[in-house]
Structure 1
Amino acid sequence: MREHNYAVTINWIGNTGEGTASYTAYQRDFTVESPGKAPIPGSADPAFRGNPECWNPEDMLLASISACHKLWYLHLCAVNNVCVLEYVDHPVGRMIEGDGQRKGHFKEAELRPQVVISSQSDRDLAMRLHDDAHHECFIANSVNFPIKCRAVINYRN
């Protein structure tokens, strides 16, 4: 068994001078930092008094799911002789703030990758590899809600 460790710094930058003296006294802004990488500006979702110009944790979770799936998919295509020429995803997620049994949580996510493959590639195999990528994805294997994949695959002529 191999183990990988990760560490980041979440630096709250929303103290407006009063700290958390009240719910409205502070901003939700923060940065995600790691040595040698560009900082990511973060905040809460605007529904929770966050800055709409920044990434919120829910955005980052959805982006992580999509990026992990894409990376596995590209790997599987490469080792199975499917030549991907373009890949763009427009994932969506649904979070609810409580259903009587649980606090706020993601209910589901859906990946919507649009993939262009070479005309020599096997389109059916390219579609099946999305299922394999889902089962390999570290992030998908770590969450407790369903992730669907509604892929569209086209050939480049």
Structure 2
Amino acid sequence: MLGEHRYQVHSSWTGNRGSGTSGYRDYDRTVTLTIAGKPDITASSDKPFRGDSTKWNPEDLLLAALSECHLLSYLHACVQAGVVVVDYEDEATGVMVEDGLGGGAFREVTLRPRVVVADASMHEAAAAAHHQAHEWCFIANSVNFPVHHEAFVTSR
């Protein structure tokens, strides 16, 4: 299982309104993201960048990737720690700052996992598993900004 893993996505711009990129306001930002064997994702830029707010944008996808990666890593850490998770939800937020030169970067992301475990005796181990999950998360280890965790654990 150790080794190099490769991923591939096909991105296709579908926003040509007939005159291509003849002007900043002359084209739509719609993109179709395709991976063989998976449903397509219709995406766009964020609304402040003349995008369609009803579609996923790159910033949404990055935040979703961080949230899901932590969730999956956390479930694995809990199995190893003997913690039985019965419910998990996250309300992740991120802050991106423009640089005034047409670019920008994320400053930080905060994950807010709300975890329900099978028994109150598992609370301490369940809370500690977030640290291990962060260490294992491929996506969090790939970004150059802090990913904070404000976890809450309860039992049923």
Task: Tell me the TM-score range normalised by the shorter chain.
Answer: over 0.9
TM-score in terms of structure 2 length: 0.95
Aligned residues: 155
2:30 equivalent in structure 1: 29
RMSD over aligned Cα atoms: 1.5
Runs of 4+ in 1 over 6 A off after TM superposition: none
User: What is the deviation of 1:103?
Assistant: 3.9
Matched AA of 1:42: A
CA contact (8 A) 1:83 1:121 kept: no
- Give deviations 1:2-30, integer Å, cap 9, x for gaps: 00000000111101111101000000011
Could you list the runs of 5+ residues in structure 1 that have no partner in the other structure? none
Give the match's secondary structure for 2:70: helix
Map 1:1-150; keep pairs closer than 5 Å.
Answer: 2-98=3-99, 103-119=103-119, 121-150=121-150
- Give deviations 1:28-53, integer Å, cap 9, x for gaps: 01111011100011000000000011
Percent identical: 45
Matched AA of 1:124: E
TM-score in terms of structure 1 length: 0.95
User: What is the deviation of 1:79?
Assistant: 1.7
User: What is the deviation of 1:54?
Assistant: 0.3
CA contact (8 A) 2:120 2:154 kept: no
Could you list the runs of 5+ residues in structure 2 that have no partner in the other structure? none
Matched AA of 2:74: Y
CA contact (8 A) 1:10 1:30 kept: yes
Rounded Cα–Cα distance in structure 2 between residues aligned with 1:96 and 1:25: 26
User: What is the deviation of 1:120?
Assistant: 5.9
Rounded Cα–Cα distance in structure 1 between residues aligned with 2:152 and 2:12: 39
Give the match's secondary structure for 1:58: helix
